[in-house]
Structure 1
């Protein structure tokens, strides 16, 4: 029952806020404000001179004062300026009114207020953007490095989340150090503002969770099985699964994950030396296997050529001695030092 109530409270659709062009309203308000000020002064002069009906001048005086001190400020408050890839989430008396998108100069209901998530929050990542708008400072708090804005505008630009490196156990239980970078943007401003408390922090936490879930499904590296996917050898497939995992978790926050990439991958320091020795041993074994296979092939070719051209007749014992000598020469680590035999072998 509680889950159904929570689902009903979630906002799923973003609606467009009612607005008109702001420049005509600005010009109209300035002209009428000037006229109201002149009318206010004129009424004061008439009242001081006691010319005409005093009640009429008092009524005009009150009307001019209302426009100057009440209506004109409200009209100025309703004027909003948006730059490219910016949006304003508006509420009217606590209810979602709509989202103002698109660059330009707009006039909206002066009683609406812009809403944006709180910047102050902890996170394990750093969010960067190409936004060049004026900022009132930078905030760095436990790994979170976010601009502290004086306005309530929501950035629709593509942003990058660079999470800190984490120590996670892979499928085989080996601890590894891994870091990712996530490229994302806001696509539904209503979800981003109302469904989660802070979509910056929410994204960072979900990236950490998704990374742990994905890493535990794959080994860092395996030997002898080329078909098994690994973190080191199947980076593209792992990145795609990671992006899908994060996207499924941040859909409720109105975010779109454009790309997720592994930026750092290494064994943890406590096992790095042992794993390096293991890799070196595996490489040596593979190299020796290739050398032996090549040497056997060369010996086989030499024997077949000797028999084919009938250069020399070798019995089984001499063939065995020749094979032994050739394998020692071909598989040895050092260059062979030939010895000339001037006598008989027996």
Structure 2
């Protein structure tokens, strides 16, 4: 189904013609000419049945005897096909807030997730004829898309090359928007934006996952500290030997590296005694 323009004329012109028909019918009644008066009244009823008012950012879908005749998208008053069925569809931008859904992320952890969907109807014919109750269709497909996207990513991660629901909100929102557009284009709906409004671990594992997050953060921080400490110790040894300040054998080099690592990695503000060995035997 593709939207097209319905036949219509200016409503004010139609009202003038309608008043003329009624006036002519009244004249013939006064002249006691019943047949012309009845004909004019029938024409007036036909014309009057086609009067319709279209509000701004609305579309009126016109059907006649079960056939789609077109749509009227311009705002104003019009006269269209008499005795046709007309359904008004809003073209305004609307929001849909999904419920808090309980799903499992890619790692199998149960999470709670919700999203807000910003959309509008761009093809009124598809919204009316290609789906049944397009508002309900948008709601169901939106919740389905949110569930599907949530199962593709972990809730959180400390690796830079892996996307997560919590750490990559922009990428997840773009993914959700694209998937929703693919699902809702059949209903003539354009998805303007889709963003997560709620994201949390389920209550039954929230405390355990908080402890896991803290442990993972500590491990990540420790790894970063150790990597930096190793580099600093290596640079210190290489600089000392390059400038000829010391001449260390393997045993003393290992001892100095050990002491440097202990000093750098230590969390407490201690003043360790560093034993690098003696330069003279």
Whether 1:58 aligns to 2:58 is no
Say which SS state the counterpart of residue 137 (structure 2) adopts: helix
Whether 1:259 aligns to 2:198 is no
CA contact (8 A) 1:329 1:335 kept: no
C-alpha change, 1:218 and 1:320, in structure 2 (3 Å) is closer
The equivalent position to 1:334 in structure 2, one of 262, 268, 271, is 268
Deviation at 1:330, TM superposition (A): 2.1
The equivalent position to 1:82 in structure 2, one of 54, 58, 73, is 54
C-alpha change, 1:28 and 1:217, in structure 2 (3 Å) is same
Whether 1:180 aligns to 2:169 is no
What is the aligned partner in structure 1 of residue 69 from structure 2? Answer: 97
Deviation at 1:262, TM superposition (A): 2.5
Distance 2:247 2:149 in 1: 65
C-alpha change, 1:277 and 1:32, in structure 2 (3 Å) is same
What is the aligned partner in structure 1 of residue 101 from structure 2? Answer: 166
Whether 1:217 aligns to 2:148 is no
Please, which moves more after superposition, 280-289 or 213-222? 213-222
Say which SS state the counterpart of residue 13 (structure 2) adopts: helix
Distance 1:220 1:339 in 2: 45
What is the aligned partner in structure 1 of residue 5 from structure 2? Answer: 16
For normalisation by structure 1, the TM-score amounts to: 0.68
Distance 2:175 2:142 in 1: 12
What is the aligned partner in structure 2 of residue 27 from structure 1? Answer: 16
Q: Which runs of 5+ in 1 are unaligned?
A: 1-11, 44-56, 116-152
Distance 1:154 1:227 in 2: 45
Deviation at 1:161, TM superposition (A): 1.9
C-alpha change, 1:254 and 1:277, in structure 2 (3 Å) is same
For normalisation by structure 2, the TM-score amounts to: 0.82
What is the aligned partner in structure 1 of residue 78 from structure 2? Answer: 106
C-alpha change, 1:289 and 1:75, in structure 2 (3 Å) is same
Equivalent pairs, count: 277
Deviation at 1:65, TM superposition (A): 5.7
Q: Which runs of 5+ in 2 are unaligned?
A: none
Distance 1:172 1:229 in 2: 13
What is the aligned partner in structure 2 of residue 243 from structure 1? Answer: 177
Please, which moves more after superposition, 157-166 or 215-224? 215-224
Distance 2:243 2:119 in 1: 72
Say which SS state the counterpart of residue 14 (structure 1) adopts: coil
Please, which moves more after superposition, 297-306 or 163-172? 297-306
CA contact (8 A) 2:263 2:272 kept: no
